A and B are shown apart, each in its own frame.
Chain A
Amino acid sequence: MPEEKPNIPVEQKDYSKLYLIFSAILFLGTAWAVWDEVKVRRPWKDYQEGYQQLLVEHLDSLRAAAESELDSATVVDLNAQRDKAVADLQSEEYQEAVSQKNVLLKDLDLATREWRFARSRSDAAYYSYQKAMLEGGDAASAKAEVQKHEDDIADYAKEIESLNAKIAELDVTINKYNDQVEKLNAEITGMFATINAHTLKLERTREMPIAIRQVMLNDYEFTPFQEIKARIDRCQTCHAGWAEPLMADAPQPYTQHPLPELLSKHNPESFGCTPCHRGQGPALTAGFAHGDDDHYWETPILRGIDVYATCNSCHVNETVLKYAAPFTKAKQIILDSGCNGCHNIKGFEEAPKIGPPLNSLPKKVQADWLFRWVRNPKDYNEHTRMPNFKLSNEEAEAITAFLMDVGKDAEFQFTRSRGSYAGGSSARGKLLFESVGCQACHTVGDEQTVRTNRALTFDIAPELTRVGSKVSADWMFDWIKNPRHYNPETRMPSLRLTDDEARNIVAYLNTLKDTRTFERTALDLNNPDKIKFGDKLVRDYGCFGCHAIKGTENEGKVSVDLSDFGRKKYEQMDFGNTHELSHDDTTEYQENSDGTVSVKHSWAGWVYGKLKNPRLYETERIPQRMPVFTFNDEEIRLIRMFLTSMTKDVPVANYQHNFNKRQQEIEAGRRLTQYYNCIQCHEMEGRGGYILTKYEEEAMGPPKIFESQGAKVQEPWLHEFLQGPTTIRPWLDIRMPTFNLTDAEISTITKYFLGTSKQELMIRDYAATPIDSKYLAPGRQLFDAYQCAKCHPAGRVSSDEVSASDLAPNLTMAASRLKPEWILSWLHDPQALQPGTRMPAYFYEGKGPDESVFDGVETEQIKALRAHVWSLGRQRSTASK
């Protein structure tokens, strides 16, 4: 039985209003979503429009300026000239020439055709002739036939030649007219070139699409799980003007990049921006891209000098980068301060110990001086590199006892009898000290040229203001006569002082006394317990990080490895009892009135505090051993920048700088020349030369070593010179010291010079360089005419030319010192090779002043001069044999 369907009432209620409201909400929601998506969340569109507008304004004004600068009278004049030139094409002469040429061209066609036919006929006749010869036909008449055609060919050829000559004659007239038109057209176009260029660029700028500009680096880096991942940069979406020179003074984000030269090697179009600047590449709002609004982004943008930290991602092995002075300086600080003595630091694993060995101290200093030094080195010498370990009197006494004990049976013995230093004049010693080169490394009193120019808080060698109270005169005499006697590994070179010179300097240095009075501390140096305690302290504090000390040869580094310190998290850092400074505060380190210190509680703040005062985070329970350095604000920021770079996150090998053999050789040379303090005197690759400002005239100071040095001097000469320097510039008071370099070290320097001048090491017999005898006599003539001997002694100069030796090197050295190719480029333009040199250029616009030799031709004259100079050395070497 079918059930009756329940009677469901039809909905009576009207929902249309509700529908209307909801659909309105839906519509508005959609509209809002679209607006938000397209406009609000894409602020970069405004930036791009702004950039476009700015560039258009710039170009408009440039074009307007170019238009106003356009000499309209000249343009009118040129146009008129051009119109006249075009009208001249209708002239009788031109038209006549053209129609004559057309006739001649037709004739030429005909003649050429006939010539070809004659050649075919000649070939056919020659065949008949050959056939007649072989088959016994009438060879004579066949040959006559060939000859007849050959004559025809000659006739036609002559005709072609004469037609061509006539055409060429007409072309002279025709071209005269056409060239005039072309020339004027080109001139007119030239006048509009700038305007047209601006117009073209304007059009392109207007057509520029508003779009995201992104750079994708596939296979750029590793994830923490060692999987390769890509990097995407969209920075150029807003920073649209980075490559545009017109945007040099524009506001951010439109500004041109300040180092276009650098970008030529790190092209942002293929390399992106975040590899150097960090930040969140794919983000499209400033807050997220820079990291200010995204506190969980681990690599926010690097500001100020910190941006140089990322150089180390790829250039970890290098210490000098041309476009990154802060990077270079930071590495100099790290190396000079010996940070690697206690910490393992990526890139400096092989760096040498910076302090002297401490195995013969009793021969050098008194125990009470040593005690005061160990307790606080800055008290004796504020600018020493040795930091303050803040030791107690007991600890300092123990270390003194230990070091005195270590040196008790030192092998070092004075070779001269005691007192042989005596008899010098301190006045003469002072003059010598100030001129011979001591001041290149050591400061005394107010003479601080080198310290000022290095612009660092620490010196590279001890200040000698109080040295007379530190070491004995006997030791001093032995030391400056031959520093390697006391310390075979010292960097202090010998200045080849005579006994008298050394005595004078000792006499002078002995006048430099510590005038302060000290309470005498009774030191118990022979107590075995104290010696043992001293030994323990030396091991705990890691003194052997900088000093060689007998018995500590197998000790490792006492402090943490810094190679990934840049990634250490704020949460992992202990801030001790310091108070927190606000992140927006401009100061980084604040000493409060209650004796506490405030720092920012962040990675950067912690590092600043630690470097300012390494014992800052010490608490009762957590002792700290890092000694106290006296870095200033700039140095701290530079070191902090360097520490920022200490991370294991580096790009994959493809993106790394190719540290090839040449780079390695250059880098080894840089480190060696920094280690031996060569750069104190010699400017190399733009660093160093700290002593140069002492000299009013650059030529009176140590010569700069230019990057072309490797192309300048012969390798065997350089080797010999570095082994035992000889006088090249007799006018200098400062001496090139003898460093007793090993063969390997000399080879490092040689390869460094060759590397920077892009030369390969070649075994060459320079003495066998042939001299073309045709150049000898003219060379000698030019040498006299150009009065080279006015400045250069050359063996045969009479002694009454008093100024000569004070000006320029003796040329008898040239053949055994200089590379022959270098002499050519040197004579061509000395200023180009050594800016500021006293050597003048003789050649001007390809000509020499004396036109009677080789018609004044520069290249020939230079070869002649070289031949003569080269022969000067030969004469001497034959004579001396």
Chain B
Amino acid sequence: MKRILCSIAMLGISFCALAGDVTGKVSFDGKAPAAARLRMDADKICARAHKAPVMGEDVVVNKNGTLKNVLIYVKDGLGGKKFDAPKDKVVFDQEGCVYDPHVLGIMVGQTLEVLNSDPTLHNVHSLSKANTQFNQAMPMKGMKLTKTFDKVETFKVKCEVHPWMGAYIGVFNHPYYAVTDDNGNFTIKGLSAGTYTLEAWHEKYGTQTMKVTVDASGKATADFKYSGK
């Protein structure tokens, strides 16, 4: 439908921006630090929730040599355009005393639903600076609480009861962000034609930026590369 509308519009206007996608991969070379096994002995409920050993998620290198949990987002190029927060909520779960997902993106004003799927006490403490910090206890299994953020910021969330638990939340004022998956891939959807600065953020290896141009065909690629130190 959009295409048809656009074609009609193109009769009168010489240029029509089609929505495009930026896809890419975050590769990793060099030596990855050995993932630390999480010792959950301090809380038997956590330890019992897992049969296999649980590894820390601060650096997750996928089997294909790519890096998981990298947050990619448009840093510049949207020209002050305003976007409405989507109605659907983002779920942030605590299961087996691990946060799921480990890294997530959310829009200003969008609802974050924090869920406790463990029959033990968790507290969700946001170490945000621009947004008001919150630190909420969730002592019962199945408890839910909702939060919204009003400032753009990437911050850590932690649980003081279980010191190994940590996750990161990126708050954006636009919907153009993604997190790399088990294959190190990401897709940012719906960008109109133009040149943008993309930024990749990793909790341990920091940020990288890259210019990317979405042309009239509506496709663009952006591959990042991190290396272990």
Whether both chains belong to one complex is answered with: yes
Q: Which residues of A contact B (CB under 8 A)?
A: 699, 785-787, 790-791, 801-803, 807, 830-831, 835-842, 844, 849-850
Q: How far is the CA of A807 from the CA of B137 in the complex (A)?
A: 14
Closest approach, in angstroms, between the C-beta of B160 and any C-beta of chain A? 4
- B49 beta carbon closer than 8 Å to chain A: no
Q: Is the CB of A807 within 8 A of B161?
A: yes
Q: How far is the CA of A836 from the CA of B123 in the complex (A)?
A: 13
Extra pairs beyond A786-B139, A790-B121 (19, CB < 8 Å): A785-B140, A786-B137, A787-B120, A787-B121, A803-B42, A803-B161, A803-B163, A807-B161, A830-B135, A835-B133, A838-B135, A839-B135, A840-B124, A840-B125, A840-B136, A840-B137, A840-B160, A849-B137, A849-B143
Q: How far is the CA of A284 from the CA of B39 in the complex (A)?
A: 74
Q: Is the CB of B161 within 8 A of A850?
A: no
Q: A830-B135, A838-B135, A840-B124 are in contact. Are A791 and B143 (CB under 8 A)?
A: no
14 A-B contacts (beta carbon < 8 Å): A699-B160, A802-B41, A803-B42, A807-B160, A830-B135, A831-B133, A831-B134, A835-B133, A836-B133, A837-B135, A839-B135, A840-B136, A849-B138, A850-B140
- Which of B123, B139, B163 gathers most chain A CB within 10 Å? B139
CB-defined contacts of B41 to chain A, threshold 8 Å: 802
Q: Is the CB of B135 within 8 A of A791?
A: no
CB-defined contacts of B160 to chain A, threshold 8 Å: 699, 791, 807, 838, 840
CB-defined contacts of B161 to chain A, threshold 8 Å: 790-791, 803, 807
Closest approach, in angstroms, between the C-beta of B182 and any C-beta of chain A? 31
Q: Which A-chain residue is minimally distant from B138 (CB atoms)?
A: A849
Q: A791-B161, A849-B143 are in contact. Are A844 and B136 (CB under 8 A)?
A: yes
Q: Which B-chain residue is minimally distant from A836 (CB atoms)?
A: B133
CB-defined contacts of A840 to chain B, threshold 8 Å: 123-125, 135-137, 160
Q: Which B-chain residue is minimally distant from A835 (CB atoms)?
A: B133
CB-defined contacts of B135 to chain A, threshold 8 Å: 830-831, 837-841
Contact with A along B99-126 (1 / 0, CB 8 A): 0000000000000000000001101110
Q: How far is the CA of A790 from the CA of B46 in the complex (A)?
A: 13
Q: A791-B161, A803-B161, A831-B134 are in contact. Are A849 and B42 (CB under 8 A)?
A: no
Q: How far is the CA of A840 from the CA of B138 in the complex (A)?
A: 9
Q: Which of A803, A837, A838 contacts B43 (CB 8 A)?
A: A803
Q: A802-B41, A803-B161 are in contact. Are A785 and B136 (CB under 8 A)?
A: no
Contact with A along B188-224 (1 / 0, CB 8 A): 0000000000000000000000000000000000000
Q: Is the CB of A850 within 8 A of B139?
A: yes
Q: How far is the CA of A785 from the CA of B137 in the complex (A)?
A: 12
Q: Which A-chain residue is minimally distant from B120 (CB atoms)?
A: A787
- B145 beta carbon closer than 8 Å to chain A: yes
Q: Is the CB of A841 within 8 A of B133?
A: no
CB-defined contacts of A850 to chain B, threshold 8 Å: 139-140
Q: How far is the CA of A717 from the CA of B163 in the complex (A)?
A: 32
The 4 closest A-B pairs by CB, nearest first: A840-B123, A787-B121, A840-B137, A803-B42
Q: Is the CB of A841 within 8 A of B134?
A: yes
Q: Which A-chain residue is minimally distant from B160 (CB atoms)?
A: A838
Q: Which A-chain residue is minimally distant from B137 (CB atoms)?
A: A840
Q: Which B-chain residue is minimally distant from A699 (CB atoms)?
A: B160
Q: How far is the CA of A790 from the CA of B136 in the complex (A)?
A: 15
Q: Which A-chain residue is minimally distant from B133 (CB atoms)?
A: A831
Q: How far is the CA of A787 from the CA of B123 in the complex (A)?
A: 11
CB-defined contacts of B138 to chain A, threshold 8 Å: 849
CB-defined contacts of B121 to chain A, threshold 8 Å: 786-787, 790
Closest approach, in angstroms, between the C-beta of B134 and any C-beta of chain A? 7
CB-defined contacts of B143 to chain A, threshold 8 Å: 849
CB-defined contacts of A801 to chain B, threshold 8 Å: 42
Q: Is the CB of A842 within 8 A of B125?
A: no
Q: Which of B43, B124, B133, B140 contacts A849 (CB 8 A)?
A: B140
Closest approach, in angstroms, between the C-beta of A411 and any C-beta of chain B? 52
Closest approach, in angstroms, between the C-beta of A521 and any C-beta of chain B? 54
Contact with A along B126-148 (1 / 0, CB 8 A): 00000001111111100101000
CB-defined contacts of A841 to chain B, threshold 8 Å: 134-137
Closest approach, in angstroms, between the C-beta of A96 and any C-beta of chain B? 44
CB-defined contacts of A831 to chain B, threshold 8 Å: 133-135
Q: A807-B161, A831-B134 are in contact. Are A838 and B125 (CB under 8 A)?
A: yes
CB-defined contacts of B134 to chain A, threshold 8 Å: 831, 841
CB-defined contacts of B140 to chain A, threshold 8 Å: 785, 849-850
Interface members, chain B 60-118 (any A CB < 8 Å):
none
Q: How far is the CA of A849 from the CA of B124 in the complex (A)?
A: 14
Q: Is the CB of B139 within 8 A of A785?
A: yes
Q: Is the CB of A787 within 8 A of B139?
A: yes
Q: Is the CB of B42 within 8 A of A842?
A: no
CB-defined contacts of B120 to chain A, threshold 8 Å: 787, 790
Q: How far is the CA of A849 from the CA of B140 in the complex (A)?
A: 7
Q: Which A-chain residue is minimally distant from B161 (CB atoms)?
A: A790
CB-defined contacts of B136 to chain A, threshold 8 Å: 840-842, 844
Q: Is the CB of B125 within 8 A of A849?
A: no
Q: How far is the CA of A699 from the CA of B161 in the complex (A)?
A: 13
Q: Which A-chain residue is minimally distant from B123 (CB atoms)?
A: A840
Q: Is the CB of A842 within 8 A of B43?
A: no
Closest approach, in angstroms, between the C-beta of B214 and any C-beta of chain A? 29
Q: How far is the CA of A807 from the CA of B121 in the complex (A)?
A: 14
Q: How far is the CA of A850 from the CA of B140 in the complex (A)?
A: 8
CB-defined contacts of A835 to chain B, threshold 8 Å: 133
Q: How far is the CA of A840 from the CA of B133 in the complex (A)?
A: 11
Q: How far is the CA of A849 from the CA of B142 in the complex (A)?
A: 10
Closest approach, in angstroms, between the C-beta of B61 and any C-beta of chain A? 25
Closest approach, in angstroms, between the C-beta of B59 and any C-beta of chain A? 19
Q: Which of B133, B137, B163 contacts A842 (CB 8 A)?
A: B137
Q: Which B-chain residue is minimally distant from A808 (CB atoms)?
A: B160
Q: How far is the CA of A840 from the CA of B139 in the complex (A)?
A: 11
Contact with A along B35-46 (1 / 0, CB 8 A): 000000111000
Closest approach, in angstroms, between the C-beta of A842 and any C-beta of chain B? 5
Q: How far is the CA of A803 from the CA of B140 in the complex (A)?
A: 20
Q: How far is the CA of A831 from the CA of B135 in the complex (A)?
A: 7
Q: How far is the CA of A836 from the CA of B134 in the complex (A)?
A: 9
Q: How far is the CA of A803 from the CA of B133 in the complex (A)?
A: 24
Q: Which of B42, B139, B145 contacts A802 (CB 8 A)?
A: B42
Q: Which A-chain residue is minimally distant from B42 (CB atoms)?
A: A803
Q: How far is the CA of A596 from the CA of B173 in the complex (A)?
A: 60
Q: Which A-chain residue is minimally distant from B140 (CB atoms)?
A: A849
Contact with A along B175-187 (1 / 0, CB 8 A): 0000000000000
Closest approach, in angstroms, between the C-beta of A747 and any C-beta of chain B? 35
Q: How far is the CA of A841 from the CA of B136 in the complex (A)?
A: 5
Q: Which B-chain residue is minimally distant from A844 (CB atoms)?
A: B145
- Which of B41, B42, B123, B160 gathers most chain A CB within 10 Å? B160
CB-defined contacts of A791 to chain B, threshold 8 Å: 160-161
Closest approach, in angstroms, between the C-beta of B120 and any C-beta of chain A? 7
Q: How far is the CA of A839 from the CA of B133 in the complex (A)?
A: 12
Closest approach, in angstroms, between the C-beta of A736 and any C-beta of chain B? 22
Interface members, chain B 1-40 (any A CB < 8 Å):
none
Q: Is the CB of A842 within 8 A of B139?
A: yes
CB-defined contacts of B124 to chain A, threshold 8 Å: 840
Q: How far is the CA of A786 from the CA of B137 in the complex (A)?
A: 8
Q: How far is the CA of A836 from the CA of B125 in the complex (A)?
A: 9
Q: How far is the CA of A835 from the CA of B134 in the complex (A)?
A: 9
Closest approach, in angstroms, between the C-beta of B144 and any C-beta of chain A? 10
Closest approach, in angstroms, between the C-beta of A792 and any C-beta of chain B? 11
Q: How far is the CA of A842 from the CA of B120 in the complex (A)?
A: 14
- Which of A840, A844, A849 gathers most chain B CB within 10 Å? A840
CB-defined contacts of A836 to chain B, threshold 8 Å: 133
Closest approach, in angstroms, between the C-beta of B49 and any C-beta of chain A? 16
Closest approach, in angstroms, between the C-beta of B194 and any C-beta of chain A? 24
Q: How far is the CA of A787 from the CA of B118 in the complex (A)?
A: 13
Q: Is the CB of A790 within 8 A of B43?
A: yes
